[in-house]
């Protein structure tokens, strides 16, 4: 199977040329995307043409757009089957690790392979903080645990290209969009080492602005759930003002929330789209738990509107636990098949 290395580059240093030369020696076909670096970098990209297919455009569009530009180019100019391995141009990823991740993609054609760094004290603090925040948000959003959420070293087969090309991100958030979209697939983390030069001074990542940009993707991904939850609580308040006891308004509001969420998940681009069976089972579990919590809280004298608010917040945790159980069950079944 052909192996393609995709390298997005913005204002690269000379060590990119060393990376390209070594990758060529490992039988990679290499595509380099110049993300609008400007005339100052003409010389380095001219030299890169000795080792790679170099594609350039004039204005900087962001890493995500450079990756999508490269994926579109690969889809149009290479014949399947093949794997695509993305790596950073700054030399942080060792060639042997790029090779390792690419091999894992060949062995698991339906999975997204992530290069997993050891984020210890030697890692720049901006990387540790950003990954820590994203790791927690990813767990809360998908019910899955991933140690490394922001690695630029990733690999996947050609079958996943159409899926990733539909994603909305244009800058660093595209990499978050990838792992969110792949949460329904196998995600395999492969241990790698990362080399930092001058405390990662060559990185164009902006610690505050780009971390905010990345983390808002989790909010966008869960937007239908947030809208449906707020609308459901409002409906409960209206119904509870005119209907007694609270059970009927509670059930009606929860059913409305479930239906609205189902519609929004299908209509709004780039949101979680769970399988119908899993969605229905999760909805029934949440309906029962929501009712049980409401019963318990009102039994000890809690106001019904406050009780409903508390129950709704607790149901977020129930939803996460339910997703985690489903994912563990699916993973165990896949292991048994293999």
For the chain, list the domains and their CATH numbers.
Answer: 2-221 (3.90.550.10), 223-337 (no CATH)
Instruction: Give residue 31's pLDDT.
Output: 96
State how beta strands 53-57 and 29-35 pair.
parallel
* β strands within the chain, DSSP E: 2-9, 29-35, 53-57, 82-86, 111-116, 154-157, 186-191
Distance between CA atoms of residues 80 and 129, nearest Å: 38
36 CB-contact burial (10 Å; exposed 0-12 / middle 13-18 / buried 19+): middle
Cβ–Cβ under 8 Å, residues 248 and 235: no
Strands 82-86 and 154-157: antiparallel
Biggest alpha carbon–alpha carbon distance for the chain: 77
Cα pseudo-dihedral 192, 198, 199, 203, rounded to 10: -80
Cβ partners under 8 Å of residue 210, min gap 6 = 130, 171, 172
Token pair listed for 208: 């505050």
CA-wise closest residue to 130 among 213, 211, 201? 211
Q: How many CB atoms lie within 10 A of CB 29?
A: 18
Residues in the chain: 338
The structure's pTM equals 0.77
User: What is the chain's pLDDT, residue by residue, as a tens digit (338 residues)?
Assistant: 899 999 999 999 888 999 999 998 898 999 999 999 999 999 999 999 999 999 999 899 989 999 999 999 999 999 999 999 999 888 888 999 999 999 999 999 889 999 988 766 666 666 676 677 778 888 877 878 888 887 889 999 999 999 999 887 777 788 888 888 888 788 999 998 866 555 554 454 544 455 555 667 777 777 888 899 999 999 999 999 988 888 999 999 999 999 998 888 888 777 777 778 778 888 899 999 999 999 999 999 999 999 999 999 898 888 878 776 766 665 555 555 55
| Helix 207-221, helix 125-142: angle, nearest 10 | 10
Give the pLDDT confidence score for residue 208 in this predicted structure: 46
Q: What is the pLDDT of residue 121?
A: 63
- What is the distance between the alpha carbons of residues 22 and 202, in angstroms, rounded to a whole number? 20
């Amino acid at each position: 199977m052909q192996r393609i290395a995709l390298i997005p580059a913005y204002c690269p240093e000379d060590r990119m040329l060393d990376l390209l030369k070594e990758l060529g020696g490992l039988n990679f076909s290499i595509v380099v995307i110049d993300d609008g670096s400007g005339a100052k970098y003409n010389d380095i990209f001219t030299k890169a043409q000795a080792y790679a297919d170099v594609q350039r455009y004039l204005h900087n569009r962001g890493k995500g757009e450079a990756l999508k530009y490269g994926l579109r180019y690969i889809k149009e100019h290479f014949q399947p089957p093949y794997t695509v391995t993305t790596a950073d141009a700054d030399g942080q990823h060792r060639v042997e690790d790029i090779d390792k991740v690419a091999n894992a993609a060949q062995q698991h054609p339906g999975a997204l392979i992530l290069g997993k760094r050891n984020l210890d004290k030697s890692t720049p603090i901006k990387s540790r903080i950003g990954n820590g925040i994203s790791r927690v948000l990813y767990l809360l959003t998908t019910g899955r645990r991933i140690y490394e959420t922001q690695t630029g070293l990733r690999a996947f087969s050609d079958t996943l290209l159409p899926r990733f090309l539909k994603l909305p991100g244009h800058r660093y958030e595209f990499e978050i969009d990838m792992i969110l979209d792949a949460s329904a697939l196998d995600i395999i983390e492969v241990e790698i080492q990362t080399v930092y030069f001058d405390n990662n001074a060559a990185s164009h990542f902006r610690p505050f602005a780009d971390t905010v940009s990345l983390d808002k993707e989790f909010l966008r991904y869960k937007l239908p759930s947030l809208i449906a939850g707020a609308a459901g609580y409002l409906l409960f308040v209206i119904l509870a003002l005119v209907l007694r006891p609270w059970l009927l308004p509670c059930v009606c509001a929860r059913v409305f929330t479930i239906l609205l969420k189902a519609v929004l998940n299908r209509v709004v681009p780039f949101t979680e789209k769970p399988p119908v069976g899993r969605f229905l089972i999760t909805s029934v579990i949440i309906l029962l738990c929501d009712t049980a919590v409401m019963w318990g809280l009102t039994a000890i004298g809690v106001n019904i509107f406050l009780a409903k608010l508390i129950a709704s917040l607790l149901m977020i945790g129930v939803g996460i636990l339910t997703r985690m159980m489903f994912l563990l069950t699916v993973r165990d079944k896949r292991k048994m098949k293999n």
